[in-house]
Amino acid sequence: MSSENDQLVWKAYAVKDTKKWSEFEIINFEPKTFDDYDIDIKINYCGVCGSDVHTITGGWGGNTILPLITGHEIIGTVHRVGPKVTEFHVGDRVGVGAQIWSCLECESCKADKEQYCAKAVDTYNDKYPNGDIAHGGYSTAIRAHERFTFPIPKELDSKMAAPLMCAGITVYSPLKANNVGKGKVVGIVGIGGLGHLAIQFAKAMGAKVIVFSHSPSKEKDARELGADEFVVTSDASFANQWERKIDVLLSTADVSSGFPLGDFFKVLAAEGTFVVVGIPDDKLPQFAAPGLVLKGAKLAGSKIGSKKGIIEMLELAAKHDVKAWIEELPMKECGTAVKDVKEGHVRYRHILKMDLE
C-alpha cells in the first residue's frame, strides 16, 4: 500500500497531435496546484470511453490542450489527502469520473446536480479557474477534489468498477431521473460500452427492457445482458410494430445524421422521453414536430451524473451484480484501444492497466 511518504510519479501516455490520434508518447506532467480538499490518487485502471476518441481526434472541434492526457474512468488508491478532506484516507480504493471540479456554490451544485454547474471542469482537456490544466487517467496519478472522488464498494472489482465512473453513471442517471422501474418499458438504443451497462441497470431497476440495434448479430449478447426483447432497426417497419409502446428511450448510439430519430418518436408512448447522452461530432438530426407535440413527448439531454447518483449506482451495481464486459490491456496499448473504439470493435469496454512506474 502506498503512503504519503512514498514519492508519487506523474507520468502519462499522451497524444501530441490530434492528426496522429493513435500515437501515444510517455510524458511527465504537472498536476494541478494542491488544495486543501484535494486527494492524490495512484491510478491502477482506466477505462477507454468514446469521449476519449472524440477528443483525441478533434472531432468535437474547439481547442485541444496538447499534449493531451485522456481517460476518465479511473480507479486507484488514495496516496495523499489535503488537510480538509474528511471522507477519504490514504489507502482507500476510489474512483474518478468525467468531471473533476465545480463551483459547489450554485443552485445546481447545492441540489446535487453538480454536473450541470456552469463552471464545471472536465477531467481532461479542460482548465481550472486558476489556469491549471486538468489531465486525465491514462496516467500514473490524478489529483482530484474530494467531491469528485468516489468510494468504491468492496463487492466491486476494480476493473469492473472503472467503466461505471463514466459509462455507468451516464446511463444510470437518466434512467433514475425518468423514474425507470417496475411497470415501465424502457428502450435501450445501441449496445456498446454504455448500452451494455444500460440494459443491466434498467433490468436491475425492475423495468421491461427492449433493445434496439441495427446489428442482428448482437441479439445473443443483448439477451444475456437482460433484454426482454430485441428489435432490429435496419428493418424500417420496426417503428410501426413498436408504436407508442416505450416509456423511456435511452440512446447510447450517436444521434446524428442518419439516425432515425423520427421513427423513435413514433415508438415513444404518450408523454414519453427520448434521452440523448452522447455528443456526436455533428448536429442532431432533423425530425418533424408532430412526433413531439401530438403526444407530449420530450427530447432530453443528460450529462454523466452527480456524486450522489454515482454512490447510488455503485450500490445498485453491487447488489444486482451489474458487470461491465471488459477486455483488459496494458496501458502501453492505449493506441490500439482507442482505434478499437473508433472502429467499433470493442465488446464492450477496454480497460487499461497502468504499467508505468
Q: Which H, E and C letters describe 137-197, residue by residue?
A: CCECEEEEEHHHCEECCCCCCHHHHHHHHCHHHHHHHHHHHCCCCCCCEEEEECCCCCHHH
Q: What is each CA distance from 255 to 74, 186, 264, 284, in whole angstroms?
A: 26, 18, 11, 6
Q: Hey, what's the cell of 180? A: 425507470
The smaller minimum CB distance to a second copy, of residues 243 and 315, is found at 243
Strands 185-189 and 246-251: parallel
One residue of 108, 139, 200, 233 binding a second copy per CB under 8 A: 108
Distance CA 148, CA 255 (A): 28
CA 81 vs. chain centroid, Å, equals 26
Least distance (Å) between residue 273 CB and a second copy: 8
Return the number of the residue (70 or 178) whose C-beta is nearest a second copy: 178
Q: Is 153 in the site for a second copy (CB under 8 A)?
A: no
Shortest separation between residue 78's beta carbon and a second copy, angstroms: 30
Q: Does 102 bind a second copy (CB under 8 A)?
A: no
Q: How far is residue 246 from each of residues 47, 185, 243, measured CA to CA in Å? A: 31, 5, 8
Question: Per CB under 8 A, does 63 bind a second copy?
Answer: no
Nearer residue to a second copy within complex by CB, 113 or 349: 113
Contact positions with a second copy (CB under 8 A) in 195-254? 244
Q: Give the list of residues 6+ apart from residue 236 with CB closer than 8 angstroms, or none.
A: 263
For residues 76 and 190, which CB has a smaller minimum distance to a second copy in the complex?
A: 190
Q: Minimum Å distance from CB 279 to a second copy?
A: 5
Residue nearer to a second copy on the CB measure, 244 or 345? 244
Which listed residue (91, 206, 216, 290) binds a second copy by CB under 8 A?
A: 290
Min dist CB 270 to a second copy, Å, is 4
Q: How far is the CB of 342 from a second copy (least distance, A)?
A: 19
**Per-residue contact string for residues 172-191; x = within reach of a second copy by CB under 8 A:** --------------------
Question: 348: cis peptide before it, omega within 30°?
Answer: yes
Closest CA to 115 of 147, 83, 88: 147
Residue 240, C-alpha cell as written in the block: 410501426
Choice from 295, 320, 332, 353 touching a second copy (CB under 8 A): 295
C-alpha cell at 248: 423511456
**237, exposed or middle or buried, with CB in 10 Å at 0-12, 13-18, 19+?**
exposed
Q: Where in 297-326 is the site for a second copy (CB under 8 A)?
A: 297-303
Binding flag, residue 139, a second copy (CB under 8 A): no
Counting residues that bind a second copy (by CB under 8 A) gives 39
Give the three cell numbers for residue 78: 488514495
Nearer to a second copy, 125 or 302 (CB): 302
Does 125 interact with a second copy (rule: CB under 8 A)? no
Comparing CB distances to a second copy, the nearer of 216 and 290 is 290
| DSSP letters spanning 227-288 | -SEEEETTSTTHHHHTTT-EEEEEE-S--STT--HHHHHHHEEEEEEEEE----SSPPPP--
Of the two residues 26 and 288, which places its CB atom closer to a second copy in the complex? 288
| Binding-site member from 32, 54, 93, 113 for a second copy (CB under 8 A) | 113
Enumerate binding residues for a second copy (CB under 8 A).
107-108, 113, 115-118, 244, 255-256, 270-271, 273, 276-280, 283-303
